[in-house]
Amino acid sequence: MAVIAFREALNQAMREEMQRDETVFLMGEEVGAYNGAYKVSKGLLDEFGPKRVLDTPITELGFTGLGVGAAMGGLRPIVEMMTFNFSLLALDQMVNSAAKMLYMSGGQIGVPMVVRGPGGAGHQLGAQHSQALEAWFCHVPGLKVVTPSTPADAKGLLKSSIRDNNTVVFIESEVLYGLKGEVPEGEYTIPLGVADIKRPGKDVTLIAHAKMVHVALQAAEELEKEGIDAEVLDPRTLRPLDTESIIQSIQKTNRAVVVEEGWPFCGIGAQVVDTIQHQAFDYLDAPILRVTGVDVPMPYAKPLERLCAPDKARVIDAVHRVTYKN
């Protein structure tokens, strides 16, 4: 398998799907001539031309609405948000049009569209550009929500998302674009709604998505030195959530710590905890703990930014508490 960067894996997925299906096209701010703000769409304009790689005005509500209409008309748009913070401007089209059209048309008109781009905090981007908003979209029936953590997952999940007949919100962690890893060549897809065990273990389950998977893996390596064998489970798709895999892991380890970059109130972890409590309560030997972003707007100052984000030390502390090691 080739070793490529996260952004290259996304690029491969879009290129292959555009080659396979002429109804697939990409649009967004600077996706064409500039090759994308994070160079994810590099070379696509040269290969497919301006009718299938469209540079849009700075109007998220407008071009997302264009994507909804194109999908209703039989095309498969990929709508890139320069950052998912800007998707807030397009919420009406995403929530009130894309997510509801199939239901309101009695199953006659679908919106097979992917809305993708970077999410979460980067490095000192401030309060308005550092938000992990996946919980917002998970709240909406009619949307699927995908958060890959590795280059292989990025490619396989994006290809499946493009082929899906529903609207898929595909959030890529901003700091993972340069991450390199092995990616299968040729036809390679990962079904939506299927979790992945990134590290098997028997003492505690760490449930994390996107870049928090790597924080959980770092914590697991440190915990191994103490004799604690942590399993790291990556849901990959947050809606639909692979509850079966989560429950199976809890049945094995009997303890859980949920790690997420987003805010704690009404977060992804709250839903995961609720799922475990209702479906695997009898298997728990300790309370479930959550490690989240701090419940404040993200500060700009680097030391404060670091304090707000979940890190290895906080995950290890939570594991010590559920394994009674502290």
**Sequence-distant (≥ 6) Cβ neighbours of residue 282 within 8 angstroms:** none
Q: Which two tokens stand for residue 307?
A: 């304090």
Q: Are strands 256-259 and 204-208 parallel, antiparallel or unpaired?
A: parallel
CA separation, residue 137 to residues 99, 145, 260, 263, 266 (Å): 10, 7, 15, 14, 12
- Annotated catalytic residue, options 8, 60, 80, 261: 60
Query: By C-alpha distance, which of 188, 155, 158, 184 is closest to 170?
Result: 158
- In the sheet where 237-239 sits, what is the strand order? 53-55, 24-28, 76-80, 114-119, 167-173, 143-146, 237-239
Annotation marks residue 60 as catalytic: yes
Annotation marks residue 214 as catalytic: no
In contact, 40 and 8? CB cutoff 8 Å: no
Q: The tokens 């609405």 sit on which residue?
A: 65
In contact, 119 and 175? CB cutoff 8 Å: no
Query: By C-alpha distance, which of 41, 33, 36, 32 is closest to 13?
Result: 41
Instruction: Return the amino acid letter for 138.
Output: C
Residue 73's CB: how many other CB atoms inside 10 A?
A: 9
In contact, 66 and 72? CB cutoff 8 Å: no
- Annotated catalytic residue, options 8, 17, 129, 172: 129
195 backbone dihedrals φ, ψ, rounded to 5°: -75, 170
Q: Which two tokens stand for residue 174?
A: 């901003």
On the 0-12 / 13-18 / 19+ scale of CB atoms within 10 A, 209 is buried
Active site residues: 60, 129
